[in-house]
């Protein structure tokens, strides 16, 4: 399944026009339906970059609280951008909380939710206090992530999320046109391998630290969250409340720490 397409463009440079081709990141809709207690429900439509769709489904359902582990999913069938997930009767699916009323765009991870009560009260594992990162590793982690963004290198049109271990080695990385999709794909990898909570490394994302990304990180028990861009006020408040170290505005050797700075070792 193609993640990149080539399109014809008119290039304007220095007042001159030329006809060229450009690589573009693919964005396509995928509908998600869930079969729970012999009743089928629609969870809406995800606008995503095709590829790693099974991981996306696992991560999306885990971060939404529909499942608590890979054992809650019995089967995933994806055909022609339509996904049907068979879950156990005992999973945490609640139609009142989890059914969305609109499509989910690549820019919004919470669109279509009638209530955010279940999101604000996160049902996640305790975040460990014994994880630390050297200050020099903050900027280098962003460089490590950028060096592995293969789709972005060609298109400039995708977000990335990665887990880097405390020795500076990248464990996993995902890319997508949607920042929350990139994180869901990343989280789905760990859910499928029964490696939750994620304490073996810290999270690095290519964009800003929004509420939904902070929520997903806390839901997965991640102790340190590094973002290239700015955090939102709710992301900061949530990080303080749950004890997650939130770092933003990382550029060269500078960074801003918004919560739990005790995990950072100054070099």
pLDDT of residue 170: 96
pLDDT of residue 94: 87
Q: If you count them, how many residues does the chain have?
A: 267
pLDDT of residue 146: 95
Whether residue 262 has pLDDT greater than 70: yes
**Catalytic residue (one of 108, 111, 220, 260):** 108
Alpha-carbon dihedral angle through residues 127, 212, 206, 106, given to the nearest 10 degrees: 150
pTM of the model: 0.89
Least confident of 119-133, 139-153, 231-245: 119-133
pLDDT of residue 15: 82
Mean pLDDT of 92-97: 84
User: Which helix (H) or strand (E) element contains residue 187?
Assistant: helix 179-192
Whether residue 108 has pLDDT greater than 90: no
- State the Cα–Cα distance between residues 122 and 237, nearest whole angstrom: 13
Query: What is the CATH number assigned to the segment(s) 133-265?
Result: 3.40.140.10
Number of other CB atoms surrounding residue 128 within 10 Å: 13
pLDDT of residue 85: 97
Whether residue 135 has pLDDT greater than 60: yes
Whether residue 115 has pLDDT greater than 50: no
Whether residue 110 has pLDDT greater than 50: no
Residue 108: active-site member: yes
- State the Cα–Cα distance between residues 98 and 129, nearest whole angstrom: 31
% helix, strand, coil for the chain, step of 5? 30, 35, 35
- Residue spans in the chain of domains classed CATH 3.40.140.10: 133-265
pLDDT of residue 96: 79
pLDDT tens digit string along 11-35? 998 889 999 999 999 999 999 999 9
pLDDT tens digit string along 48-81? 999 999 999 999 999 988 999 999 999 999 999 9
Query: How does the average pLDDT of the chain come out, rounded?
Result: 90
pLDDT classification of 116: cutoffs 50, 70, 90: very low
């Amino acid at each position: 399944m193609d993640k990149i397409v080539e399109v014809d463009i008119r290039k304007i440079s220095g007042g001159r026009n030329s006809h060229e081709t450009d690589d573009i990141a693919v964005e396509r809709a995928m509908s998600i339906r869930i079969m729970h207690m012999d009743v089928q429900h629609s969870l809406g439509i995800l606008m995503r970059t095709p590829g790693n769709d099974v991981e996306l489904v696992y991560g999306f359902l885990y971060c939404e609280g529909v499942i608590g582990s890979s054992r809650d999913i019995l089967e995933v069938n994806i055909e022609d951008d339509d996904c049907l997930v068979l879950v156990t009767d005992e999973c945490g699916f609640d139609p009142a909380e989890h059914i969305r009323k609109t499509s989910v765009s690549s820019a919004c991870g919470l669109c279509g939710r009638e209530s955010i009560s279940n999101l604000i009260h996160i049902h996640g594992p305790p975040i460990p206090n014994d994880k630390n990162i050297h200050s020099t590793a903050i900027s280098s982690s962003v460089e490590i992530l950028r060096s592995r963004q293969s789709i972005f290198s060609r298109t400039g049109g995708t977000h990335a999320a990665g887990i880097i271990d405390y020795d500076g080695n990248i464990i996993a990385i995902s890319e997508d046109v949607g920042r929350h999709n990139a994180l869901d794909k990343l989280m789905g990898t760990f859910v499928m391998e029964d490696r939750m909570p994620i304490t073996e490394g810290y999270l690095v994302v290519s964009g800003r630290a929004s509420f939904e990304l902070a929520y997903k990180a806390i839901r997965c028990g991640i102790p340190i969250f590094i973002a290239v861009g700015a955090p939102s006020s709710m992301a900061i408040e949530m990080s303080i409340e749950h004890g997650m170290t939130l770092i933003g505005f990382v550029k060269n050797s500078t960074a801003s720490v918004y919560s739990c700075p005790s995990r950072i070792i100054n070099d």
